[in-house]
Structure 1
């Protein structure tokens, strides 16, 4: 089992060379999972070596010239509170030893050194280090889980689906009960970029942009930042920054361009309150982004500017939009064509000037395109191309005719795509990818990329079609492979863990026992074919 231990570093400090030599040869360092990283003859030299080697355990004489052991400990413990000090003291130095324990020493032993006693002491020391490491990993896991769950919760509320996550109310805190506003960051020309990128390149680019956004957010007081659709991220700002919304957006786009060389545009909503308003301000920020298609260049757009045209109030046909979205969801081409005629009738009845009519149509086009994208129905369609053509048409009838022709083609192509690769085949493809890569550090983002779905859509579809959550299926694959290895080979139990995706053998054993009811050793003894 020695080879499975995390290796901890030990520094030896003593002014007697014979003691240093005896410690090096008499203690089973390798068996304990410990490595000597340095030796010092006094506390002053030890200070320098601590900086250079960053040891986990220091074995030190309590009385030394220049800087004694207790002074050394008092110097470094405030900076490295997890350092373990073990002191060696003479029979006449008991008061020093007691003082060392009061100051935070782990333990002490008397000269002449009993190497068996020191070995036992070191075993206890590494147990403490192991517990510290496990607690750190647990804390990191909880923090990561909390962050991911919080992002998922915000995404669900933004989609208008709060009910599935009522049990995560503890994550809400109160930050969205005060004023806040939303910025939607979207990469420009995303469709053409992804056509050029491989799956790996796409993953790396999106990871890079997310890192840039997270660093920028930390520096600028952002409440939360999370990916929403591919090529799109949401940032939530406290309301007290609303006066500088435009400037914040410009800093953001400039930072992304500087560090990634990619251009993006930002749509920023008005200020609101309450987590339930996420689904209200998201469309506002998106509609602000529609101005991108008129401006001709990347920029920052505020939702108050989304319908220019004087002081005239124009009621947006929300019911018509919802009916069109439903026709896409059900792939009902005939209904969609009829609804486009209703759109023409609505615009004509309102008597809208050309500029407002164009804007309303284009807003509707972008909403519908996003629905195709969300349902994974789009192929290599060019939204920018369609919008460019629409802008050049001079009459309402010509715009509606072009709209119907383009969406007819998209709908027919979607029918083919849906029959060619329905939800079940997407999940089967995802499962095959997981089965081929379960031994790696596999993330849900990576598999959602392979499925070409948003993370939220992938989670829902995968659970519906497979009966497993993503994590449950990864664990299932890992356990099945582990059982096969244990049954059919003599590979050491601790060596099985990294073969099936676990770097910590003890954690692997815990997961295996939970899944099978047995430890790996018990399972091998009961099922090994090697025994025959």
Structure 2
């Protein structure tokens, strides 16, 4: 077809020459049927270049002197809504990505640039341009949501955080109003694999499995796919496919093994409806995966409406399991040891037969091991070794003692791995850093790295010690500074926004009003001091 032969025009916009050179050299432009027709070092020069060259795709840094990327995009899209913008940023703070995507960006990626990821984006961008040529009636407001925003939303709900609804009201999720179920895809022996892979190999393998999973999902009725933990992906299916759960899982695992040569297992939840149920069914699908440790082999495991097999109803201590997971998140050794004693008491009260008690303990051990794994706290620990040891023990007290000994050692090693400083001093150092850098594009990745903590552990400690979430505290610092400026100066509102970390003055005004109940102008009128 003629459309396939035409080369689409691309403009690169970045104030770093090394970025421009790497983009020109690392991307297979000819293979993609794309042609670089110009380069610009700032937004002002880019505006002139766009007028002269009429490009189809603009790849731009989101932060630039003179005119920033979002302002550039809004100006250009007001003239031609079909232009495709792909943004690059050196920072991971989601609010800027969200704002760019809300304003019409095609996609977004972080520095250092993953050239394979950008190539994939460009392939999708070219496909969109082809489709636009064949069907000029595509509605710009109904186009597919950006992968970044969509994945973040689903991941947040799966974690049990309902807050994305407050910030992403422009997303429509009618697809989850009907029946659906969740499949959790997990690479087998992932922890041991990562010890063999280099960082680059790990990135490539995960990229490959993600592509395989996404393509398979599109061909087999999946509604969405998103990565959740390292080595783990979630697929949501419509309830109409419920009768095919096992065959879907088997088909998927065969595809991943065939194309990546990596084995995996799939845990599938029961049906539910409503996006707020993601956090409820994720543990069910993940727990179904634990059966892999009992059977000793890869497979497809379906969540059933019973927790412990046996001849009578068994009460599984969910509250104790949750409390144990919390003690791991906070690295509270004494609480963890006390909770193991409570587990022993629950088993004794129910007078469970040995095989049932052992299975309950093993199920809980696997859940707790996964908690260490998700917090990136695992070292050279052997889950299989602990499970094998439990099988050899005869009494409940021996099993509980073995758990205490093993988890005590894991906890102590984790404390050494995480940091040599106590948690309070680490968080206080992080708070001082935020206080000094709130006006920059602060990301949770940056600050948790400074604290030498995994992101999950940093979030937990920060909330526990400061009383704020990371984003709440950054916002608090910015709002306090903004109030001070409003009270003591005549600086215009749109000029205050970048001084306190917001590139877009309208978004700054929205955040300020949400925090204080007043717009910046209203606050100044009521609180301003005399300024000469």
TM class by shorter chain equals 0.5 to 0.7
Q: How many Å apart are 1:365 and its aligned residue? A: 1.3
Q: How many Å apart are 1:169 and its aligned residue? A: 3.6
Equivalent residues of 1:212, 1:256 under 8 A apart: yes
Q: How many Å apart are 1:273 and its aligned residue? A: 1.0
* Structure having the higher Rg: 1
Q: Output one character per residue of 1:240-265: Cα deviation in whole Å (capped at 9) or x when no partner.
A: 00111011000111111111111111
| CA–CA distance in structure 2, aligned partners of residues 253 and 190 of structure 1 | 15
The answer on 1:190 being equivalent to 2:156 is no
The answer on 1:262 being equivalent to 2:262 is yes
Provide the residue aligned with 1:179 in structure 2. Answer: 179
The answer on 1:54 being equivalent to 2:2 is no
Equivalent residues of 1:344, 1:400 under 8 A apart: yes
| CA–CA distance in structure 1, aligned partners of residues 5 and 238 of structure 2 | 44
Distance 1:304 1:411, change over 3 A: same
Unaligned runs of 5+ in 1: 1-46, 58-122, 432-437, 470-513, 516-532
Secondary structure (helix, strand or coil) at the match of 2:301 reads: strand
Distance 1:168 1:391, change over 3 A: farther
Equivalent residues of 2:180, 2:236 under 8 A apart: yes
Equivalent residues of 2:184, 2:266 under 8 A apart: yes
Provide the residue aligned with 2:230 in structure 1. Answer: 230
| CA–CA distance in structure 1, aligned partners of residues 201 and 190 of structure 2 | 13
Provide the residue aligned with 2:370 in structure 1. Answer: 370
Provide the residue aligned with 2:155 in structure 1. Answer: 155
Equivalent residues of 1:184, 1:266 under 8 A apart: yes
The answer on 1:395 being equivalent to 2:395 is yes
Match of 2:470 among 446, 464, 469: 464
| CA–CA distance in structure 1, aligned partners of residues 282 and 226 of structure 2 | 13
| CA–CA distance in structure 1, aligned partners of residues 191 and 402 of structure 2 | 21
Q: Output one character per residue of 1:104-152: Cα deviation in whole Å (capped at 9) or x when no partner.
A: xxxxxxxxxxxxxxxxxxx988447687697123552397863222211
Q: How does 1:238-277 map to 2 (within 5 A)?
A: 238-277=238-277
Distance 1:297 1:168, change over 3 A: same
Equivalent residues of 1:290, 1:363 under 8 A apart: yes
| CA–CA distance in structure 2, aligned partners of residues 183 and 52 of structure 1 | 36
Q: How many Å apart are 1:396 and its aligned residue? A: 1.9
Provide the residue aligned with 2:290 in structure 1. Answer: 290
The answer on 1:418 being equivalent to 2:424 is no
Q: How does 1:381-460 map to 2 (within 5 A)?
A: 381-420=381-420, 453=454
Distance 1:466 1:156, change over 3 A: closer
Distance 1:461 1:124, change over 3 A: same
| CA–CA distance in structure 1, aligned partners of residues 146 and 8 of structure 2 | 30
Equivalent residues of 2:321, 2:364 under 8 A apart: yes
Equivalent residues of 2:344, 2:396 under 8 A apart: yes
Q: Output one character per residue of 1:38-68: Cα deviation in whole Å (capped at 9) or x when no partner.
A: xxxxxxxxx9xx68963679xxxxxxxxxxx
Distance 1:424 1:187, change over 3 A: farther
Of stretches 272-281 and 317-326 in structure 1, the one that deviates more from structure 2 is 317-326
| CA–CA distance in structure 1, aligned partners of residues 430 and 196 of structure 2 | 25
Provide the residue aligned with 2:83 in structure 1. Answer: 135
Q: How many Å apart are 1:177 and its aligned residue? A: 1.1
Distance 1:198 1:458, change over 3 A: farther
Q: How many Å apart are 1:381 and its aligned residue? A: 2.1
Q: How many Å apart are 1:289 and its aligned residue? A: 0.9
| CA–CA distance in structure 2, aligned partners of residues 346 and 316 of structure 1 | 9
| CA–CA distance in structure 2, aligned partners of residues 413 and 407 of structure 1 | 10
Provide the residue aligned with 1:330 in structure 2. Answer: 330
Secondary structure (helix, strand or coil) at the match of 2:267 reads: strand
Distance 1:159 1:391, change over 3 A: farther
Q: How many Å apart are 1:307 and its aligned residue? A: 3.7
| CA–CA distance in structure 2, aligned partners of residues 206 and 338 of structure 1 | 39
Distance 1:384 1:148, change over 3 A: farther
Unaligned runs of 5+ in 2: 10-49, 58-78, 86-103, 108-139, 435-440, 464-468, 476-502, 505-532
Secondary structure (helix, strand or coil) at the match of 1:271 reads: coil
| CA–CA distance in structure 1, aligned partners of residues 7 and 235 of structure 2 | 41
Distance 1:447 1:331, change over 3 A: closer
